[in-house]
A and B are shown apart, each in its own frame.
Chain A
Amino acid sequence: GESVGLHLPTLSVQEGDNSIINCAYSNSASDYFIWYKQESGKGPQFIIDIRSNMDKRQGQRVTVLLNKTVKHLSLQIAATQPGDSAVYFCAEGFGNEKLTFGTGTRLTIIP
């Protein structure tokens, strides 16, 4: 289980640069992965998802990469903007089982 006072990983990026947020997932059988964005005072919002039969998927300014060999997921955000400042969560799912969420990474965009 998680320990009390877990420190949230942070990432600071200059506005206009690209960001890469990483996530290690736990279940090698997971076949569905999602990235969520949570802004201050709001609930997590869906950004992009990917199935295990793919290793890359692109959206608008975002790309998700999946490396099943090392159980690693990453979210790349191109040309970051101030509105990208938020906490980013990865989630994994398998079949009809409930999603399992990561601890989150706080992304801060430096003007």
Chain B
Amino acid sequence: ETGVTQTPRHLVMGMTNKKSLKCEQHLGHNAMYWYKQSAKKPLELMFVYNFKEQTENNSVPSRFSPECPNSSHLFLHLHTLQPEDSALYLCASSPPGASGSGGYTFGSGTRLTVV
């Protein structure tokens, strides 16, 4: 366990479904991140939250909707996804800035399959 917990580990959803991914950390970190990892591609940053405020949206389609109710929890709400959205979705947390203190701590990810 890294200290960052993601649920569910696996998710299969239809294109008309609505689902949510959850991320939780109790490391005392104030920054949280969503990344998408597709086969044969580098990690793609999606969203960044600092102290519960969204500080970056990396041109992510609106069918992905993040929510950060507090510094320990991060959600990614999914609706009307496309098959190309199938990927491993990784959550990470860090102290502000992440320069030092070991960088980001990642969860194990949610393997999402859109059918």
Q: Which residues of A contact B (CB under 8 A)?
A: 2, 4-8, 31-32, 34, 36, 41-46, 49, 51, 89, 91, 93-99, 101-104
Contact = CB atoms under 8 A, between A and B. Distances in A.
A4 B96 CA distance: 31
Contacts of A98: 33, 45, 48, 56, 98
Contacts of B96: 96
B66 interface: no
B43 A101 contact: yes
Interface of B: 2, 4, 6, 33, 40-43, 45, 48, 56, 90, 92, 96-100, 102-109
A51 B2 CA distance: 23
Nearest to A5: B40
A43 B106 contact: yes
Classify the secondary structure of A's interface with B.
Answer: loop
Contact of A43 (B99, B103, B109): B109
Point out which of A49, A95, A102 has the most chain B C-beta atoms below 10 A from its C-beta: A49
A41 B108 contact: yes
B106 A44 contact: yes
